[in-house]
Amino acid sequence: MGGGLLENANPLIYERSGERPVTAGEEDEQVPDSIDAREIFDIRRCRARAGSRGPGRGAESPFLHLPHLIRSINDPEHPLTLEELNVVEQVRVQVSHSQRPGERLVWESQKVSDPESTVAVAFTPTIPHCSMATLIGLSIKVKLLRSLPQRFKLDVHITPGTHASEHAVNKQLADKERVAAALENTHLLEVVNQCLSARS
């Protein structure tokens, strides 16, 4: 902001997907909706800097439109969301429920028949040497930890072949103890929280 040099001053910007339309099934009290990739993806979204990509975007930021979705996690460096920078894409989010194919999820008074579900998220740093990769990965991981039921196993990793030290970063992100330790670090937690907060 203060005129400091950015690592990548003019990045490519991608279209944001619109709000997920609410279907009639979602409004029906009886029908259970299963957690799908789009929902995980939506967990990442948060309010982008409205108006950054053209007129008419500014109007959509009423109160409860806060950072509840992952695709809207802010980039640590740009006033843009991870989605706009294509760091995360819906196709790179996978949800697998450990069930036989074809069987539907059954919610019975909040008891779920699939105690073991896995969410895999791959993210793509904007440039291969991006020094923020670990931080972005950590933000995604923290956001998912806070937003998903405990029965989900999380796997956050870099899209293969898109970062110079891909392996090292993946290893750090997969290590539960290191993630926990990182969050003990006040400075790191502060940066992560900033990525997860709404920008004004």
Partner 1 sequence: MAAAAAALEAVAPTGALWGLVQDFVMGQQEGPADQVAADVKSGSYTVLQVVEALGSSLENPEPRTRARGIQLLSQVLLQCHSLLLEKEVVHLILFYENRLKDHHLVIPSVLQGLRALSLCVALPPGLAVSVLKAIFQEVHVQSLPQVDRHTVYSIITNFMRTREEELKGLGADFTFGFIQVMDGEKDPRNLLVAFRIVHDLISRDYSLGPFAEELFEVTSCYFPIDFTPPPNDPHGIQREDLILSLRAVLASTPRFAEFLLPLLIEKVDSEILSAKLDSLQTLNACCAVYGQKELKDFLPSLWASIRREVFQTASERVEAEGLAALNSLTACLSRSVLRADAEDLLDSFLSNILQDCRHHLCEPDMKLVWPSAKLLQAAAGASARACDHITSNVLPLLLEQFHKHSQSNQRRTILEMILGFLKLQQKWSYEDKDERPLSGFKDQLCSLVFMALTDPSTQLQLVGIRTLTVLGAQPDLLSSGDLELAVGHLYRLSFLEEDSQSCRVAALEASGTLATLYPVAFSSHLVPRLAGELCIEESDLARGDGPTKCSRHRRCLQALSAISTHASIVKETLPLLLQHLRQMNKGNTVAGTSEVIAVCQSLQQVAEKCQQDPESCWYFHQTAIPCLLALAVQASMPEKEHPVLKKVLLQDEVLAAMVSVIGTATTHLSPDLAAQSVAHIVPLFLDGNITFLPENSFPGRFQPFQDGSSGQRRLVALLMAFVCSLPRNVEIPQLNQLMRELLELSCCHNCPFSSTAAAKCFAGLLNKHPAGQQLDEFLQLAVDKVEAGLSSGPYRSQAFTLLLWVTKALVLRYHPLSSCLTDRLVGLLSDPELGPAAADGFSLLMSDCTEVLTRAGHAEVRIMFRQRFFTDNVPALVRGFHAAPRDVKPNYLKGLSHVLNRLPKPVLLPELPTLLSLLLEALSCPDSVVQLSTLSCLQPLLLEAPQVMSLHVDTLVTKFLNLSSSPSMAVRIAALQCMHAVTHLPTPVLLPYKLQVIRALAKPLDDKKRLVRKEAVSARGEWFLLGSPGS
Chain contacts with partner 1 (rule: CB under 8 A) = 1-3, 6, 9-15, 22, 26-27, 29, 32-33, 35, 39, 42-43, 49-55, 58, 63-64, 66-69, 78-80, 107, 110, 112, 143, 146-151, 186-187, 189-194, 196-197, 199-200
In the complex, least distance from residue 181 CB atom to partner 1, rounded to whole angstroms: 16
Q: Considering beta carbons, is residue 147 or 162 the nearer one to partner 1? A: 147
In the complex, least distance from residue 60 CB atom to partner 1, rounded to whole angstroms: 13
DSSP state of 23: P
In the complex, least distance from residue 172 CB atom to partner 1, rounded to whole angstroms: 20
Report helix, strand or coil for 143.
helix
DSSP string of 36-81, one letter each residue: -HHHHHHTT-----TTTTSTT-TT---TT--S-SBTTPBPSSSSSB
In the complex, least distance from residue 62 CB atom to partner 1, rounded to whole angstroms: 12
43/140 Cα distance (integer angstroms):
9
In the complex, least distance from residue 74 CB atom to partner 1, rounded to whole angstroms: 9
Q: Is 38 exposed, middle or buried (0-12, 13-18, 19+ CB in 10 A)?
A: middle
Check residue 88 and give left, alpha or beta (phi > 0: left; psi -120 to 50: alpha): beta
Q: Considering beta carbons, is residue 79 or 128 the nearer one to partner 1? A: 79
Q: Considering beta carbons, is residue 33 or 60 the nearer one to partner 1? A: 33
